[in-house]
Structure 1
């Protein structure tokens, strides 16, 4: 939703046929994300993007751009209707009282208008739970920054999409020039619906009865194929079962003794470097950009533990992995999560990168990487409160989740303002820290979501993360580096080119 204007190269695209987020019914996995937070607020699944704009966009043009986007992406006019007693899945229904003025707002910072103040303001907005009777998204334009820039915040619920699906959307909707795009394709908004929970249940039951023969036949054929495959290749079936057991087991190392708390308090921080710098450091150690990124985070965690006189050798971490392929529909959620004991105690950054590379390659090769989707149908039939307690118990065993999402490699604009940085902030549902990297026009933009019950000294922690990043970047062949600091909770440097590994996440 952040793009809002049509790239000139795509004026012939039939946006009505794109089908981004077109599914009416949530998957079992998405239903879990929607329902669990109602029973356990610490499992809130809000994702946010904070765009740094080079200037303040024209407000009327920004509003018009949102109105256009709402026509071509109907999902953002839809609220969630949940059948009573969890007897069906939540469905997306066009809000009969949709009000853009509720979802899109603007605010001016008091002087001196710093980036740190804007980041903290955005954090308070993201912290607020959604009005579950309305479409679960909000946007905020923050004006009044002293350096002439502006901030655009987009806050959405994770049940709408994951990180990769979100990047699909912004790539489609961002403009590639400052000037307005005349005669761009548009679409009429969908008609409003007066849908109740009982209506949603009746609709699903009717559809299930209509498709019952086809469903039974499809499942029987799928079961037969699995049985044939097990007979033909018993090693594969055994390997899948072993993989399933590994992924279902607790992490192989205990959580950090100083990161045990879990609560509702959050703190945002940012770090950045160039793609070329981080990739250069990775290459020097025989790893990928993602390996170097994880090594930098672990260095920050090591330094934080040493500052608090609690050094450890291993840290349980989770890593979302994209499971999308070309046949998957746009939008929605399609990811798995790998968990492993990360070598936080390895002081040599090159050795740390090499060890991380082995762990990541093993994690991405797990046959049962889709365990979340596989378990969701069974979990959806259990009481929500019980599932929430179990899930929080599982995620609380993870101290760090780290995600890496390929971003947009070319300059893009929003209502005439260029997007210079795109900081992602994923939820930390039960874990101590969630870090997300998005590559944007050559810059690695890293957003860090901190649970302040786990990280009780967030300022110290963010300093340690910045030092950890410098530690890894020092591996790059000698070349003058000119960091440019922004008064934020992290660090900034400038860059020119962007790509990324496929590792993905947004929880």
Structure 2
């Protein structure tokens, strides 16, 4: 039995009739040289052998009565792997458009909280004999980095796989009764006054280090110098209005694109920035083009939220969430690609400085302080009043997740690409996440179907923007 942290449980509270709390990804596989045909039986057997390495896949939620404390992960005595692994066939030869349409429907469906919070789909019928495996896991169980670590457990370095220790028969541990849970919750509640004093003391001690966030003398923190003496304000918490910062529906659209990491590094080296800066500039240019198409380009820069892993060596290999976030200006209001990249470079430096002064331990303690009953009630109030889409704190989440840099195999089939699919919420109807693998960056875009119906067009603009930056890099060289 393992108790969720407050941050883990927060992803449960974010679920509504229109939003889900899981993250997903699709592996595009070439089974041509696999020792055995990749079918549902083989995929199920492969995963069954590895379940002991990932205990959370056989655990379900146990809520504390009255929501007085964070829930627990407990062994599911009725665990049924065949429920979690399913098969979908596309009409041969399935196109990428058919694949993304099917994935949009699968990604929109919420997970059943009465069971372990994950599902896996084998998708056959793709052109050229390719197959895809789509997996979704609730964000309460994993973040981006722990999800990448989970993937390494499921993948192999050769088509033949690897030798695993003999699996012992699974015997679910007996869950605690309601009285035990209430006693534990009561003990934690009794500790709240002491915890309040401790949190207040920690906050007071950290105030000096957080001064750069509030000092009136740090214009460079609250604004971005364009280079010509003018300033682009980040206006943190006051994101401009866009078509995708509105109330979402339960329906989704997804799109994929892949770019050469070598091309991205060519731009990076030419302008003295980072790979992530180039990615952010690509997103800024693509969003600017899309917003112009829809006659909806704000006069000011967009605000982007960038998840940041704070997973240290002690947390390596553990699931759950170890994340912070930083806000950075996304200069969609500038029409020159070089200038957008320059501003992004400065914006991310400032965002890193802002994020660095926020003590992560304090954030974790605060998120764990409120009981789920209070958190869930606060979330319902926020969504019911439309606060998230009336006053969005940022416009879009852009996340860069590490991936394997060597060829890997799933059930003997070689992985060609891995496209991530993340979460959207009211006021945040578009998400861009990417994963690096074998010399390429693989972008996965997720959006509310009604707010961004032409998401594939937006994805195509990412390629156009990289081409513009490559031309600028060539001219500079």
TMscore range, shorter length: 0.7 to 0.9
Conserved in 2, the CA contact under 8 Å of 1:71 and 1:189?
no
Q: Given the superposition, is the C-alpha separation of residues 441 and 347 from structure 1 closer, same or farther in structure 2, using an over 3 Å criterion?
A: same
- Residue 111 of structure 1 aligns to a residue whose secondary structure is strand
Distance of 2:353 and 2:461 partners within structure 1 = 32
- The answer to whether structure 1 residue 109 and structure 2 residue 90 are counterparts is yes
Deviation at 1:269, TM superposition (A): 0.3
* Pairing of 1:425-436 with structure 2 (within 5 A): 425-430=421-426, 431-436=428-433
* Pairing of 1:371-450 with structure 2 (within 5 A): 373=364, 375-380=366-371, 382=374, 384-390=376-382, 393-394=387-388, 397=392, 398-430=394-426, 431-450=428-447
Aligned residue in 2 for 1:128? 109
Aligned residue in 1 for 2:165? 185
- The answer to whether structure 1 residue 361 and structure 2 residue 339 are counterparts is no
Q: Which residue of 7, 31, 51 corresponds with 2:9?
A: 31
Q: Which runs of 5+ in 2 are unaligned?
A: 32-36, 223-234
Distance of 2:310 and 2:402 partners within structure 1 = 14
Conserved in 2, the CA contact under 8 Å of 1:423 and 1:446?
yes
Query: Could you say what the CA RMSD is over the residues aligned between the two structures, in angstroms?
Result: 3.1
- Residue 361 of structure 1 aligns to a residue whose secondary structure is helix
Q: Which runs of 5+ in 1 are unaligned?
A: 1-22, 479-507
- Residue 18 of structure 2 aligns to a residue whose secondary structure is helix
Distance of 1:332 and 1:455 partners within structure 2 = 31
Q: Given the superposition, is the C-alpha separation of residues 310 and 125 from structure 1 closer, same or farther in structure 2, using an over 3 Å criterion?
A: closer
Conserved in 2, the CA contact under 8 Å of 1:81 and 1:92?
yes
Aligned residue in 2 for 1:50? 26
CA offsets 1:339-369 (integer angstroms, 9 cap, x no match) = 2432102122222112111111211222127
Distance of 1:427 and 1:225 partners within structure 2 = 32
Q: Which residue of 198, 201, 208 corresponds with 2:178?
A: 198
* Pairing of 1:496-507 with structure 2 (within 5 A): none
Deviation at 1:166, TM superposition (A): 0.9
Conserved in 1, the CA contact under 8 Å of 2:94 and 2:127?
yes
Aligned residue in 2 for 1:310? 296
Q: Given the superposition, is the C-alpha separation of residues 334 and 463 from structure 1 closer, same or farther in structure 2, using an over 3 Å criterion?
A: same
Aligned residue in 2 for 1:89? 70
Q: Which residue of 147, 150, 158 corresponds with 1:169?
A: 150
Distance of 2:166 and 2:425 partners within structure 1 = 37
Conserved in 1, the CA contact under 8 Å of 2:68 and 2:185?
no
* Pairing of 1:229-308 with structure 2 (within 5 A): 229=205, 235-236=208-209, 238-239=211-212, 251-256=237-242, 259-308=245-294
Aligned residue in 2 for 1:481? none
Aligned residue in 2 for 1:147? 128
Conserved in 2, the CA contact under 8 Å of 1:268 and 1:447?
yes
CA offsets 1:214-256 (integer angstroms, 9 cap, x no match) = x9999877876776x56xxx7436447769x98xx85344222
- Residue 306 of structure 1 aligns to a residue whose secondary structure is helix
- Residue 88 of structure 1 aligns to a residue whose secondary structure is coil
Distance of 1:203 and 1:472 partners within structure 2 = 60
Q: Given the superposition, is the C-alpha separation of residues 280 and 197 from structure 1 closer, same or farther in structure 2, using an over 3 Å criterion?
A: farther
Number of matched pairs: 444
Q: Given the superposition, is the C-alpha separation of residues 453 and 368 from structure 1 closer, same or farther in structure 2, using an over 3 Å criterion?
A: farther
CA offsets 1:132-168 (integer angstroms, 9 cap, x no match) = 1000100011112121110001111100110001112
Distance of 2:381 and 2:215 partners within structure 1 = 26
Q: Which residue of 328, 333, 338 corresponds with 2:315?
A: 328
Structure ranking higher in strand proportion: 2
Conserved in 1, the CA contact under 8 Å of 2:254 and 2:455?
no
Conserved in 2, the CA contact under 8 Å of 1:45 and 1:429?
no
Conserved in 2, the CA contact under 8 Å of 1:266 and 1:450?
yes
- Residue 181 of structure 1 aligns to a residue whose secondary structure is coil
Q: Which moved more, 1:89-98 or 1:50-59?
A: 50-59
Aligned residue in 2 for 1:9? none
Distance of 2:375 and 2:193 partners within structure 1 = 26
Distance of 1:217 and 1:309 partners within structure 2 = 54
- Residue 70 of structure 1 aligns to a residue whose secondary structure is helix
Q: Given the superposition, is the C-alpha separation of residues 225 and 298 from structure 1 closer, same or farther in structure 2, using an over 3 Å criterion?
A: closer
